[in-house]
């Protein structure tokens, strides 16, 4: 699964044919984090029908940082991620307990505006999921839905977000050609651009590199690093080396009796270098999971 060499992808430029990109204006790099919680999760539990998926999760996600969720498959990382923007609502029989607060607002509260929440919390999926429409339309459609309808405004946002993900140079002369004609890595960056267009504060990423080849995956990883600071990023990854390279905080999930639990949460260095829990140590060293 994990074909990438740690440290192989550090430079900003790759010579791959269509995944070559030039850095956009956002070169600030990880401005490190003020430990100011933006997402507060308190004894959160999730169940689908009778099946308990997550139990008693409590952690904080800090503003401007990258938080990596690691752990074996089926331990509820993705479910946890999609709870943050309430995408779990799609699943029939989904019930929750405990609370998640995003920017001091209870996302399950009755006064929570779902559209605003999803504008504030963007999501990027494991497989690139552009709509089968043109590149331009892919970004324009959600913008319109959020009330940005004036053509010049839409066009300038499209240009800005495509520059942010380093895609503008590659596609600016074919904005109206189909998004599905792009390569996998380009499609994934388009999806990130589409999420950025709504000016979110938080980006949820569900293994955004795992469906891409090593070069495209490196480009996306570099992009994530550049986005950090401006955005708060929560990323699920099976690639421990990647988590170690990019994340500031790490949360280690494990299943016990088919129920996902949070074993350990802390600074990335601490989790990787001095794990407090023996399960974490075993997982990180490749002895378990």
Partner 1 sequence: MGNAETASARGTPGNAWQDRLAEWSVYVVALLISAVFLWMLSDLALGGIEHLSWSFLLDPPQNAGRGGGIGSILVSTVLVLLIALVVALPLGWAAAVMLSEYVSSDSRFGHTVRHSLQVLAAVPSIVFGLFGNAFFSIYLGLGFSILSGGLTLACMLLPILVSTAEAGLRALPDTYRSSAMALGMSRAATVFHVLLPAAAPALITGLLLGIGRVMAETAALLFTSGYVDRMPESLLDSGRTLAMHIFDLSMNVPGGDAAAHASALVLIVALLLINLLAMKLATSWQRGKIAAE
Please say which residue, 210 or 270, places its beta carbon nearer to partner 1. 210
Q: How far apart are CA 269 and CA 271, in angstroms?
A: 5
Please state, in angstroms and as integers, the Cα–Cα distance from residue 105 to each residue in 62, 88, 109, 112, 114, following that order.
15, 18, 8, 7, 12
Q: How far is the CB of 143 from partner 1 (least distance, A)?
A: 9
Please say which residue, 146 or 267, places its beta carbon nearer to partner 1. 146
Q: What share of the chain is helix, strand, coil (3-state, %, to 5)?
A: 35, 25, 40
Please say which residue, 198 or 247, places its beta carbon nearer to partner 1. 198
Q: How far is the CB of 119 from partner 1 (least distance, A)?
A: 5
Q: How far is the CB of 29 from partner 1 (least distance, A)?
A: 27
Please report how many Cα atoms fall inside a 13 Å half-sphere around the Cα of residue 105, on the Cβ side.
13
Please say which residue, 118 or 245, places its beta carbon nearer to partner 1. 118
DSSP 109: S
Q: How far is the CB of 83 from partner 1 (least distance, A)?
A: 12
Looking up tokens 């070559």 gives: 20
Please say which residue, 23 or 141, places its beta carbon nearer to partner 1. 141
Beta strands in 131-248 (DSSP E): 202-206, 232-236
Question: Using CB under 8 A as the criterion, which residues of the chain lie in contact with partner 1 when the complex forms?
Answer: 85, 87, 90, 92, 114-119, 122-123, 125, 127, 129, 131-133, 141-142, 145-146, 174, 177-178, 180-181, 191, 194-195, 198
- Torsion sign, CA atoms 190, 195, 200, 203: negative
Please report how many Cα atoms fall inside a 13 Å half-sphere around the Cα of residue 67, on the Cβ side.
28
Q: How far is the CB of 210 from partner 1 (least distance, A)?
A: 15
């Amino acid at each position: 699964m994990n074909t990438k060499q740690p440290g192989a992808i550090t430079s900003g430029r790759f010579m791959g044919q269509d995944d070559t990109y030039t850095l956009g204006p956002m070169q600030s790099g990880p401005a490190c984090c003020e430990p100011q919680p933006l997402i507060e999760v308190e004894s959160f539990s999730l169940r689908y029908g009778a099946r308990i998926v997550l139990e008693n999760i409590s952690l904080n996600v800090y503003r401007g940082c990258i938080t990596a969720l690691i752990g074996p498959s089926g331990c509820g990382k993705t479910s946890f991620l999609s709870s943050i923007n309430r995408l779990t609502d799609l699943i029939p029989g989904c019930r929750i307990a405990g609370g998640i607060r995003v920017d001091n607002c209870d996302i399950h509260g009755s006064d929570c505006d779902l559209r605003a929440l999803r504008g504030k919390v963007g999501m990027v999926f494991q497989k690139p999921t552009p709509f089968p429409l043109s590149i331009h339309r892919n970004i324009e459609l959600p913008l319109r839905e959020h009330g940005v309808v004036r053509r010049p405004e839409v066009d300038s946002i499209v240009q800005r977000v495509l520059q942010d993900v380093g895609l503008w140079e590659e596609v600016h002369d074919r904005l109206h050609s189909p998004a599905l004609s792009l390569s996998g890595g380009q499609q994934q960056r388009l999806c990130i651009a589409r999420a950025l267009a709504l000016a979110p504060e938080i980006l949820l990423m569900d293994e955004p590199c795992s469906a891409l080849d090593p070069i495209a995956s490196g480009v996306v990883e570099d992009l994530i690093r550049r986005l950090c600071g401006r955005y708060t990023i929560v990323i699920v990854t099976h690639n421990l080396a990647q988590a170690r390279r990019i994340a500031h905080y790490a949360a280690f999930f494990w299943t016990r009796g088919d129920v996902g639990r949070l074993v350990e949460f802390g600074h990335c260095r601490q989790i990787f270098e001095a794990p407090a829990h023996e399960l974490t140590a075993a997982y990180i060293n490749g002895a378990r999971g």
